[in-house]
Amino acid sequence: MELLWVGTAYLSGLITSRLYLPPLVGYLMAGYILNVVGVEANETLKHLADLGIELLLFTVGLKLKPSLLLRREVLSVGSLHLLIVTSVSAIVFFGFNGHISGGLVMGVSLAFSSTVLAIKVLEDSGELSTLYGRDVLSILILQDIVAIGLLAVANNKQPSPWALCLLLLPLLRPLAYRLLSASRDDELKLLLGITLAIAGGMLAESAGISSDIGALMMGIMLAGHVNINELSNKLWGLKETFLVAFFLQIGLTDLPGYNEILQALTLISLLPLQGVLFFVLFLLVGLRARTAFVSSLALMTYSEFALITSSVVVEANLLPPAWESIIGLAVALSLAVAAPLNRFSHRLFSLLESTLVRFERKVEHLDRLPGSIGGAEWLVVGMGRTGISAYLSFNQQDTRVLGLDADPTVLQNLLADGRRVIYGDAEDSALWETLPLAKIKGILLTMPEFEVRSSSIKQLKNLQFAGSIGTVCFHTGEESELYRLGANFVIHPLIEAGKQLTEHMLDSARG
C-alpha cells in the first residue's frame, strides 16, 4: 500500500511539475485518482499526515517572534476578515437549512486560509522572511489561535484547565537551548527537532487542544537559538515527505456526487471575493498595492482546518451530511487553484499594476519604497552572509555603501549594529524605478533565488543602468545566463573558496 501511495504521488507530482505547477497539485490529484480506483485512507496515512503538519508548524515556530502578532496589520486585517466572512457565511449556511450555530462554526472555518499551502509556497519561493511573508504567517497563526476556541465549540467541550500550562513552555527554553547546543551531530539535531515537535503535539492533545498548536508553541520556545536555521534546514526534507501524506489524504477522504460538486464549485467561485477583501484591508492599513496583492493571493484559499470542523458539525447534526464532502472538495480545489496563482503572483501583479496602484494610501509604513539613499554610490542587495561580507569589505575601503533587504528582522539587527541599511524588495520592479541609478557606481545582487537575481539584472538593463552589476551563482548554467542578461561579473562562492584555499596552501608551502 505504501508503494502505491508514494508511487502515485511521485508520478502525479512529476506531471504537474512538467506543466510548471507546484508538485502539491499533483499530490492532490493522486489522492482523488487512488480514491476512484478504490484505495482507501487508513490510520497509517492519517498518522503520517498529522506528523507532517506538526513538523511544519514546529519549523514555523522556530522562525516566529510573538511580537509579530501584535503588529497593526496583523490584528486589524486578521480580525476584520474573520468577522466579515464569518457573518456572511453564517447567513448563507442558515439559508441551506443548517442550524445557525453550525453556520457560525463553518463560517469561521471558511474564513481561515490554508496554513500548509501558504507556508509551503512562501518557503519554496524564499519569501517567508519578507515583509509580506511575515504578515501572512502572522495572520495564519492568529487564525490558528482562534481555531483553539472553535474546536471547543464544535466539539461541545472546553479545553482542559491544564491547557494553561502550555504558556509555561518558555520556562523550558534554557534546557532546550542546552540540548540543541549539545547535539553537535546532524542526526542528533534532527532527532531533537522531531522529539520536541511530537512532544508539543502530545502535550497539547492531553490538554484538549489541537496537536498542531502544541508543535507550533514548542517551536516558538526554541526560536532565537544561534543554530536555529541549521535545525530548520535539517527538518525541511523530512517535513516535505510527511506533508505528501496530508495532500493524499484530502483526495482519499471522500468522493462527492454531482450536487456536491456544484456546491463546491460555488464556494470556489466565492474565493476571489475573499481575496478582494484581504486586498482592501491590507491597503487600509497602509501597505502598497504590490504587497497587498501577493499577500492576498497567499491567503486566498480554504483551510484544511475546515475538513476537521465540517466532520464535527455534521456529526452534531448542525448541518446536512453532504457538507462534509462539499467542504473536502472545496478545500482541495482551492489549494489546486491557489498554488499556480501564488507561483506567478509577481508576474500577475505586473500585468495589473497600473490599475491596482491607484488604490494605494499615501501613508508612512515600512512597506514604502525608499525615498532617498543619501550619498550612497554602491548598493548591496540581500544582506545575508554574502551580502554582509560584501558590505563590510566596502566599508573597509572607505566607500559610501548602502545595504537593502526585504526582511524586517534582518534590518532591525543591522541597524542596531550601526549599519546603513534600508528596506527594499528586489522582486518589486518599482524599487529599481525609484532608486537614483544615475549616481550609483555599482550594485551587488546576493539574493539566493536565481529568478530574483536574473529579473533584477534584466530590469536594471531596461532602465539603462550604466554602472557595474555583480552577482553570485550556485548551479551549473546560471553563470552563462546571468552574463547574457548583462551582469558584469559573476562568482560561484564555493569555487572561489576552493581557489583561495589553494592559493593559501601554495603560499604556505613556498614560505
Same domain for 425 and 351: no
Q: Domain for residue 457, yes or no?
A: yes
Same domain for 426 and 293: no
Q: Domain for residue 462, yes or no?
A: yes
Q: Domain for residue 373, yes or no?
A: no
Same domain for 147 and 115: yes
Same domain for 473 and 434: yes
- Asked if 437 and 463 count as a contact pair (C-beta separation under 8 A), the reply is yes
Counted domains in the chain? 2
Q: Domain for residue 434, yes or no?
A: yes
Same domain for 421 and 355: no
pLDDT at 157: 53
Same domain for 440 and 354: no
pLDDT at 208: 72
- Asked if 280 and 63 count as a contact pair (C-beta separation under 8 A), the reply is no
CATH of residue 440's domain is: 3.40.50.720
- Asked if 386 and 314 count as a contact pair (C-beta separation under 8 A), the reply is no
Q: If the chain, 511 residues long, is cut into consecutive pieces of 10 residues, what is the mean pLDDT of each piece?
A: 85 84 79 84 84 83 68 82 82 61 72 80 70 80 72 59 71 86 86 90 78 81 79 82 84 77 88 92 87 90 76 70 79 83 84 87 67 84 90 88 85 87 79 83 89 86 89 86 91 85 84 63
How many Cα atoms are found within 13 Å in the side-chain-facing hemisphere of 420? 18
pLDDT at 40: 79
Choosing from 359, 387, 405, the residue where a domain stops is 359
Handedness of CA 49, 270, 110, 301 (dihedral sign): positive
All cell numbers assigned to 479: 553563470
Same domain for 260 and 391: no
Same domain for 214 and 96: yes
Q: Domain for residue 370, yes or no?
A: no
Q: What is the pTM for the complete model shown?
A: 0.69
- The helix (run of H) or strand (run of E) holding residue 234 is helix 228-253
**Which residues constitute the domain of residue 460?**
378-510
Choosing from 305, 328, 359, the residue where a domain stops is 359
Same domain for 396 and 348: no
All cell numbers assigned to 107: 463560517
Same domain for 303 and 399: no
Q: Is 110 exposed, middle or buried (0-12, 13-18, 19+ CB in 10 A)?
A: buried
Vertex 150, ends 223 and 29: CA angle to 5°? 75
Q: Domain for residue 371, yes or no?
A: no
SS3 at position 463: coil
Q: Domain for residue 430, yes or no?
A: yes
Give the whole-angstrom CA distance, residue 310 versus residue 436.
54
Same domain for 182 and 71: yes
The 10 Å Cβ neighbour count of residue 431 is 20
CATH of residue 226's domain is: 1.20.1530.20
Q: Domain for residue 372, yes or no?
A: no
- Asked if 217 and 166 count as a contact pair (C-beta separation under 8 A), the reply is yes
Choosing from 294, 328, 359, the residue where a domain stops is 359
Residues across the chain: 511
Same domain for 431 and 303: no
